[in-house]
Amino acid sequence: METGRRSGRARDFLLGGLVGGAAAVAAARRRRMVRRRREQRLERPAGLAAFEGAPCFEELLEERPESAL
């Protein structure tokens, strides 16, 4: 009877280790993805700053007469 308990505990321990390891790998992968998205967000301006850097906005400024600025 005691050997059955030991093998059951060992199996539970191994399964728990596998599940925990998979969770750790998934968490590390998610952290890398979040960091990559954050870096991409910082590279690209948001709001009006993004529009001011657009080629269409620069063309509008070139077409506009100097007196209108």
In tens, the pLDDT along 9-33 reads 999 999 999 999 999 999 999 999 9
Is the pLDDT assigned to residue 39 strictly greater than 70? yes
Give me the pLDDT at residue 50, please.
Answer: 76
**Where is average pLDDT lowest: 1-5, 7-11, 36-40, 47-51?**
1-5
> Token pair of 6, please?
């030991």
Residue 44 near residue 50 (C-beta atoms within 8 A):
yes
Indicate the average pLDDT of the chain: 83
Residue 45 near residue 53 (C-beta atoms within 8 A):
yes
Q: Which residue has the higher pLDDT, 17 or 5?
A: 17
pTM here is 0.49
